[in-house]
């Protein structure tokens, strides 16, 4: 039984050794050779080198683009809070975003506080729609009659989409 294990182990090692790729330094052709096999090696090495360089360039390019996007997002977030004067964006920021659209103090960062803003109204374009944990603004209506709402922190971003307004409260600017 012990002899069988040794043979299996030896075969496994041999299989691993055969499957390991050659080091590129070993595969690199020597230009002093002139035979057809050395020409094949030169072409093969050149092709491999071109593919490797392209793959490295693609990864580097992707990392650079990703880094630029992240930097741009951070810049937009920082400039949005600084330029509008709303203070730092809270973790739950739909009310904070609505302040950038309609004004108001920091108490309106909390979505449910928008239920006391302005005056009551019926659902209509331009109205603020307030749910218990979210706030948005009605921007239109679909052909099927569903209201289109634009809001902050909807899936982690500002988004405009058809939404059910069942159970919501509608408010409009008191000066309108």
Spans of all domains in the chain: 18-76, 94-172
Does the pTM exceed 0.85? no
Q: Which pLDDT score is estimated for 84?
A: 52
Separation between Cα atoms, residue 113 and residue 135, nearest integer Å: 9
Q: Which pLDDT score is estimated for 96?
A: 96
Q: State yes or no: pLDDT of 94 exceeds 50.
A: yes
* Residue 81 confidence class, pLDDT cut points 50, 70, 90: very low
Q: What is the largest CA-CA distance in the chain?
A: 94
For 169, phi then psi, to 5°, come to -110, 145
Q: Which pLDDT score is estimated for 13?
A: 72
Q: Which pLDDT score is estimated for 8?
A: 72
Q: Which pair of tokens denotes residue 100?
A: 């950038």
């Amino acid at each position: 039984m012990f002899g069988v294990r040794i043979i299996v182990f030896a075969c496994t090692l041999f299989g691993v050794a055969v499957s390991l790729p050659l080091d590129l330094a070993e595969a690199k052709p020597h230009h002093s050779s002139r035979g057809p096999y050395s020409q094949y090696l030169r072409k093969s090495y050149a092709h491999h080198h071109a593919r490797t360089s392209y793959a490295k360039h693609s990864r580097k390019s992707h990392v650079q683009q990703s880094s630029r996007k992240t930097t741009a997002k951070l810049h937009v977030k920082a400039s949005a809070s600084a330029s509008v004067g709303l203070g730092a964006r809270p973790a739950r920021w739909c009310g904070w975003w609505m302040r950038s659209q309609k004004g108001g103090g920091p108490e309106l960062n909390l979505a449910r506080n928008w239920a006391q803003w302005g005056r009551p109204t019926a659902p209509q374009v331009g109205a603020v729609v307030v749910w218990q944990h979210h706030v948005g603004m009605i921007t239109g209506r679909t052909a099927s009659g569903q209201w289109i709402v634009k809001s902050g922190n909807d899936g982690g971003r500002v988004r405009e989409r058809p939404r059910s307004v069942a159970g919501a409260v509608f408010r409009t600017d008191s000066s309108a």
